[in-house]
């Protein structure tokens, strides 16, 4: 677990340094325009943002397993954009460190995921992006990963108008290599989002992560959470960031999954010139 946390902190530091480097304008560049708190709040929700942001999220699961225990996971999923003239390439690696108390106590790294989105550089009311997603068998124990190499398509369609930011992100993962004794991966992920962002930087959102495991029995295939988050985007000195917290009840869940979850996140934002 300590090794996984060191890796997580190291990745955070590297991304933060990279973001700072991208943020600092050269003498020939114009001064960055002021970004309002409302614009910062909207950018928190946007997975296709055209500047670096580094969200770190803690998710705690309650009433987990037959003994109603508590588990926890930490996830870092930075957004790193690359300009391709009329297009942007958005890279989103996702690294998770998890503690599971049931059925066998274990902790460590989960499988690493990395997704890429090609999206138009010029944003409008509607924003879209599509590309591949990859999952690598990096889990530190068999109970925390699939043991398989997996890949598939991913896409996002977003709507931004005034204080509203809504959209949907989805991907499909299927295994193509790895330990065949572990079984195949055939997994669908759907993340709808509805958010309202106030001028003060406060926002409310509903952002459930819905999944369907095609390899599981029908009674254990769906995970459907429902709840809400509240957060605020603000400046702390020269650093733009957001703090957020929320709770979700799992309306449908596999056996052994938590009955409800609470999540807290901090997002470091590094707006570039627009």
Tens of pLDDT, residue by residue over 155-192, are: 999 999 999 999 999 999 999 999 988 999 999 999 99
Write down the mean pLDDT value for the chain: 89
Q: How far is CA 34 from the centre of its chain?
A: 26
Give the DSSP letter of residue 112. Answer: E
Domain ranges, residue 237: 2-270
CATH of the domain at 15: 2.40.160.40
pLDDT at 118 over 90: yes
pLDDT of residue 16: 47
pLDDT of residue 33: 52
Per the rule left: phi > 0, alpha: psi between -120 and 50, beta: everything else, 55 is beta
pLDDT at 265 over 80: yes
Task: Write phi, then psi, for 38 (nearest 5 degrees).
Answer: -65, -40
Q: Which of 106-115, 208-217, 264-273 has the lowest mean pLDDT?
A: 264-273
- The single residue listed with the structure tokens 């397993």 is 65
End-to-end CA distance of the chain: 41
| Mean pLDDT along residues 25-49 | 75
Percentage of the chain with pLDDT > 70? 87
pLDDT at 249 over 80: yes
pLDDT of residue 20: 46
- Could you tell me if 254 and 216 are in contact, meaning their C-beta atoms sit under 8 angstroms apart? yes
What is the C-alpha to C-alpha distance for residues 81 and 229, in angstroms, rounded to an integer?
Answer: 26
In sequence order, which residues have a C-beta less than 8 Å from that of residue 62 and are 6 or more positions away?
A: 68, 70, 258, 259, 260, 261, 262
How many domains would you assign to the chain? 1
pLDDT at 56 over 80: yes
Q: Give whole-number Cα distances, 175 to 18, 150, 159, 236, 264, in Å.
A: 32, 4, 32, 43, 31
């Amino acid at each position: 677990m300590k090794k996984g946390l060191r890796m997580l902190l190291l990745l955070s530091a590297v991304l933060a340094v990279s973001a700072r480097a991208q943020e600092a304008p050269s003498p020939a560049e114009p001064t960055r325009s002021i970004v309002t708190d409302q614009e910062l709040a909207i950018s928190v929700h946007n997975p296709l943002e055209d500047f670096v942001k580094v969200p770190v999220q803690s998710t705690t699961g309650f009433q987990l397993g037959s003994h109603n225990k508590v588990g926890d996971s930490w996830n870092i999923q930075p957004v790193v954009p690359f300009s391709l003239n009329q297009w942007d390439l958005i890279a989103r690696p996702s690294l998770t460190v998890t503690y599971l108390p049931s059925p066998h106590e274990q902790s460590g790294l989960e499988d690493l995921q990395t997704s890429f989105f090609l999206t138009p550089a010029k944003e409008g009311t509607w924003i879209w992006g599509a590309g591949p997603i990859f999952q690598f068998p990096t889990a530190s124990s068999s109970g925390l990963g699939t043991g398989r190499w997996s890949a598939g398509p991913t896409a996002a369609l977003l709507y931004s108008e005034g204080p509203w930011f809504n959209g949907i992100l989805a991907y499909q993962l299927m295994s193509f290599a790895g330990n065949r004794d572990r079984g195949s991966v055939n997994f669908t992920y759907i993340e709808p989002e509805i958010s309202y962002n106030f001028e003060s930087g406060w926002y409310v959102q509903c952002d459930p992560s819905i999944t369907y495991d095609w390899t599981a029995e029908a009674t254990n295939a769906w995970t459907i959470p429902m709840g809400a988050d509240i957060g605020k985007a603000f400046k702390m000195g020269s650093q733009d960031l957001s703090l957020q917290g929320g709770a979700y009840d799992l309306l449908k869940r596999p056996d052994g999954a938590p009955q409800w979850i609470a999540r807290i996140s901090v997002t470091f934002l590094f707006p570039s010139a627009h």
